[in-house]
Structures are given as C-alpha cells and as structure tokens.
Amino acid sequence: MSVLLKLTNVAVYVGDTCLLEPISLELKQGQPLTILGQTGSGKSLLAQAIMGLLSDDLSMSGDVEVFGKVMSIDERRALWGKELVMLPQEPWHSLDPLMKGVDQVKEVYQFVREKSSQESLTIAEDDLRHVGLAGSGHKRPDELSGGMAQRLAITAATAGGAHVILADEPTKGLDVSRRDGIVQLLQARSNLGSLLTITHDVAVARQLGGLLLVMKEGRLVEQGEATQVLDYPKDDYTRELIAAEPSAWSDMAPTSRQDSAESILVADKLTLERGGRVLFDGLSFTIKQGEVVGIVGDSGCGKSSLGDALLNLLPISAGSIVRLNQAAKPHQWLKLYQDPPSAFSSSVSLGQLLDDLIFLHGIDKARIAPLMARLSLPHGVLDRNCMAVSGGELQRFAILRALLLDPVFLFADEPTSRLDPITAKEVTALLVELASEAGCAVLLVSHDPALVRKTCHQIITL
C-alpha cells in the first residue's frame, strides 16, 4: 500500500507561539484518515499547512512529502486540482457568486480534465443529480441553502480527479441523509487515491472508518483504528466528544415557562413559494415570549425560508404574519445566519465591528468580556477579520453580536452546524437560557431531530 502523503514533525507557529504541536502521519492509498476534534484544536491549520494556504503571519516547520517527494509550498501548489485538492470549510469561499452551479462543475471537467464542452456538461449534470441538486444546477450559490451550497462546492472540488483529497468539515450543516450521501461521494471519489477528512462529527468519523486521530488545543491526544478509538476511547477528551452528541443530551427545554406567557408572533395559514415551487402550504402556529420553537426537515425543504419570511426578509404567497410586541425595536428581531461569512465584512476586524455596534446602539462595552468567556471566544479573535478565524469561532462571534442587541425574537438558522459537539452543546444551552432568562423567543432551525427534541417546546416539521 503506497504512501501518498507523509508529514514529519509538521508544526505551525505565530511568531514564537506554537499553535499546532509537531505531528507526523502517513496517508496511504485507499486508507481513509480522519482527524476529529473541537473548534480551535488545530485541524484546519494542519490542512492549510499541507496545502500551502497558511496566512502570512503564520509559519510552518517540518516536512510535507507528496507521492514520495518532500515538496516546497510552490511545488505543492502546482499540484492543486489535478493531484491535490482541499474542500474548504466554508462553501462561499470557493464558489463563484455570479456563476450557475452546473457551470462551476462543468468548467473543471472542461479545463482540468480537458473534456469537450458537451461531455463536461453531461457529466456535471450527472454529478449534481447524484448529490440531490438535479433541479438546482441553473441557480447561483446565493440562491441555494447552506447545505446545497456545500454539496455544490464538494462536487466542483472533486471533479478534477485529484488522488489526495483533504476535506475540511465536508458535512457540516447537512441533514443526516445528505451527510451520509456526501461521505459516500467522497469515498467514491477517493477510490484511486486517499481521503483525509477533518471533522467534529463523531458519526462521520465512524462512517468513514480507517485511521482516526483525535486532536485537542493543537496537539494529538489519541489515535488508532476508528472503530477501536470510538468504541473504547482511552482519553477523557475523546469520551467527552462522544458524550456531547445531541442524542446523549439531557432535556434542555426550560420547564418553568408558563402557559400564560404572552404571544409574540402569530402565523396563520402561511404559504410560501420559491422558484415556482411550493415549499409549504397552510402552515399556522403561535410563538410566545421565552419559547424555543424548532424547525426540522431535509436540506432545501424551506426551513430557512420560513424564518426569513417571519422576519419580513421574504414575501409570503398567502396567509398572514402578525408581530404582537410593538415596543420592540427593529434590530431586536434578529437572524443568526447558517453561514456566518455571509453576515460579516472582511474589510475590518471583528473588534471594529463590535465598536460600530456599541456606537450605533449605545451598548455597555463591559458586557462583551463575560459573553466572550461564555462562548469560549479568545480575545485575540477581535484583532482578526472574518476570513482569519475558524468557521466555529465566527459563528460564536455572530451569537455574541446578537446577544448584545437584547433580541426579543431570534431566528437561529442552524446555529451550531459550524461547531464541534462540545461547543454546540454549550451554545445551544446558552440560546435556551437566553429564551428563559430574557423572555426572548427563539426559532431554532436544525437538521438534527435529536437536538430539537432535547431543546424545544414546540416542533414544526417541514
């Protein structure tokens, strides 16, 4: 079994500070390797070091050997697409916002695989059909749900036929059926090569099999065959990760909520259409102060569209929506986006964004530090922009920004899809506490039925 990728004492530093302790590993042909760990453990830094994508303020030591040869950064970059490919953590960072999805896949076959235009189009359409995007190839990325955009990005990235595939959180934000389909797609695409997957999803690590490395705070804490590590974990941290899966949570929904709580929003016989397709019809419900309402359903079924309609971000086709809290200010009806990069400017630091918020709304700056501690956000993220932090850190920052505005209604669109199980449990508990303590109604969208069952008073299934 040949070794396609070999790392020897690879470490990452910022100045003299070690962010990723020296790590050595071998990726063999046909043998998947998975790196499991929570946000900030150094998983994505390792992938960026392999690809030669570290930012200018970071440095790397150690050797990266590809196909039996120790290669420089420039030599590794020359292999991008044809031999070495990385599936990015955020699909919005890799997709052309102005190009139809099918054309983004087609051009890989046409210009990397050198197939004819018609043959490239036919294969691209087949690929999209395989990942459940048969009717969405004509859409731009901004017209897709987060899960659909993720599937498009994976399809385009793997179309070049690279032998070494690095997949950075490839299934986050996807419902279970789509998640399993993506894993199977990656396994099929890596048949002639090998797959290195970075994930915080224990179920994905188990499904992929092969070798498993568990990382925490920039260091390796456990490794071995995936089934052995997950069934008989030796390290306390590995056991904590496994126990943090939503199916193992205790019931979080506050039991003290009184039925006499005032209603904050009433939806009556809602119908919503998008792209000529009816997403839902005749939907009625009431949301009360302090209530956590869950929305579940497959990717693309209209979960995000329903939340947008309740915030007047999308027009409804029929029915009515009545907001009953007239004292609330417009900025207290808020949305937490599924893909946090879409909610931030990359031209300024996160700290500057908070300063702007404080100035606009007269917020007490002393509230920031305690909330950052509750959300496990290091103070250093405030010096960076949204492109220089992990997806999980950016999502937690988005929650911080929302909480500072004292929302009366918070539409949380897959708020934990970018987070590892441990942090996801903590953040979900924080949102439930917000509902209970501040009387804020929370509309929680999730692809995980277990998470919704454990946290919500009312569940809407689409």
Q: How far apart are CA 314 and CA 303, in angstroms?
A: 12
Number of neighbouring beta carbons within 10 Å of residue 293: 22
Q: What is the pLDDT of residue 254?
A: 64
Q: How far apart are CA 38 and CA 15, in angstroms?
A: 24
Can you give the pTM of this predicted structure?
Answer: 0.73
Q: What is the pLDDT of residue 393?
A: 83
pLDDT level of residue 20 (50, 70, 90 thresholds): very high
pLDDT tens, residue by residue, 84-111: 999 877 777 789 999 999 999 999 999 9
Q: Beta strands 458-461 and 292-296: pairing type?
A: parallel
- Rg from Cα positions in the chain: 22
Residue 132, Ramachandran bin (φ over 0: left; ψ between -120 and 50: alpha; else beta) = left
Q: What is the pLDDT of residue 337?
A: 84
pLDDT level of residue 139 (50, 70, 90 thresholds): very high
376 near 407, Cβ under 8 Å?
no
14 near 58, Cβ under 8 Å?
yes
Residue with tokens 């999502």: 395
Q: What is the pLDDT of residue 255?
A: 63
433 near 439, Cβ under 8 Å?
no
Q: What is the pLDDT of residue 61?
A: 95
| Between 188 and 378, residue with greater pLDDT | 378
Q: What is the pLDDT of residue 63?
A: 96
Q: How far apart are CA 374 and CA 151, in angstroms?
A: 32
Q: How far is CA 412 from the centre of its chain?
A: 14
pLDDT tens, residue by residue, 357-405: 999 999 999 999 999 998 888 888 999 998 888 767 888 899 899 989 9
406 near 398, Cβ under 8 Å?
no
Q: Beta strands 292-296 and 441-445: pairing type?
A: parallel
Domains of the chain: 3-248 (3.40.50.300), 263-461 (3.40.50.300)
Write out the E strands in 359-426: 409-413
Per cent of the chain over pLDDT 70 is 97
* Distances from the Cα of 437 to the Cα of 45, 129, 406, angstroms: 37, 46, 11
247 near 226, Cβ under 8 Å?
no
pLDDT tens, residue by residue, 251-285: 887 665 556 688 999 999 999 998 788 999 999 99
Q: How much of the chain is helix, strand and coil, in % rounded to 5?
A: 40, 25, 35
Longest CA–CA separation in the chain, Å = 70
CA angle 164, 169, 170 (to 5 degrees): 70
Q: Kindly give the interhelix angle for 117-130 and 101-111, rounded to the nearest 10 degrees.
A: 130
109 near 119, Cβ under 8 Å?
yes
Q: How far apart are CA 429 and CA 423, in angstroms?
A: 10
331 near 405, Cβ under 8 Å?
yes
